[in-house]
Amino acid sequence: MIGFPKAKINIGLRITGKRGDGYHNIETIFHPVDLSDALEIVEAEDETTDDTITVTGINPGVGTTDNLVIRAIGALRQKHNIPALNIHLHKVIPAGAGLGGGSSDAACTLMTLNRQFRLLLHPSELRTIALELGSDCPFFINPVPSYATGRGEILIPVMPLNKEYFIILLNHGMGINTKEAYDNCKPAIPSENLLDLYNRPVAEWKDLIYNDFEEYVFSKHPLTREFKQVLYDSGALFSSMSGSGSTVYGIFDREPDLPGEITKYIIYRGLM
């Protein structure tokens, strides 16, 4: 079976508190974008008991044994009999980019195996397993635009953005360590609920919706700050860093012209 794990952007990301389990509570909007990896999983034809995985495309950023696809298979095997598999993962979504690529790959693996081997797991069961793999992984079990709280696993569907909006993603190729980003942010309760702000016109978001990771990441990688300013200078209605970085996106009401020196950093451009 072949699946196409989608990327997501974060529209706003507030760190609202440190939890007793070592994680952080957040408030964010997860919104899918049409940037996808490709994942093929087939049952091994020989008598081997070992999985094989090949990874092509851009550098996935992790070794084979650390790949979330392999971890997702292992999580299902704890309760289900799944034979040896041959896996091919083609990476298009950069690692450490704040786009959820690894989590999306893992969620796609869970859903693919659930169908392929008729495990009959309910989406809520898949989300429980997904949460063991990553805080944003449950979102990708059914990646519809969602208001997320808790670790990111408490999801309330929201209206998608207008499909006529144009979005550009810029990435400089330097991944951001998520733990390091969290360690350099101070949790606080926002004065306004993000869901209320999201429901306002996109053109009003600029001075209302924030990503708490931006200050730290911008200080460490000034090019990300430059990306945001260039996108606004090019007519973006709203621009922000996604997740803990390093991707910066801009939402436009038309296809923009970007300065030539910036275009080499584009990893996706298209309609929402």
**Is 79 an active-site residue?**
no
**Is 136 an active-site residue?**
yes
Phi, psi of 55, deg, nearest 5: -125, 125
Query: Where do the domains of the chain lie?
Result: 2-157, 166-271
Pick the CATH number of 166-271 from 3.40.50.150, 3.90.550.10, 3.30.70.890, 3.40.50.2300: 3.30.70.890
Q: Which of the following is catalytic: 37, 51, 105, 136?
A: 136
Q: Which of the following is catalytic: 8, 91, 105, 212?
A: 8
Domain 2-157, second-level architecture: 2-Layer Sandwich (3.30)
pLDDT values of the chain reduced to their tens digit, one per residue, 272 residues: 999 999 999 999 999 999 999 899 999 999 999 999 999 999 998 877 789 999 999 875 555 667 899 999 999 999 999 999 999 999 999 988 999 999 999 999 999 999 999 999 999 999 999 999 999 999 999 999 999 999 999 999 999 999 999 999 999 988 888 888 898 998 999 999 999 999 999 999 999 999 999 999 999 999 999 999 999 999 999 999 999 989 999 999 999 999 999 999 999 999 99
Cα gap 161→201, rounded to integer Å = 10
User: At 264, which amino acid appears?
Assistant: K
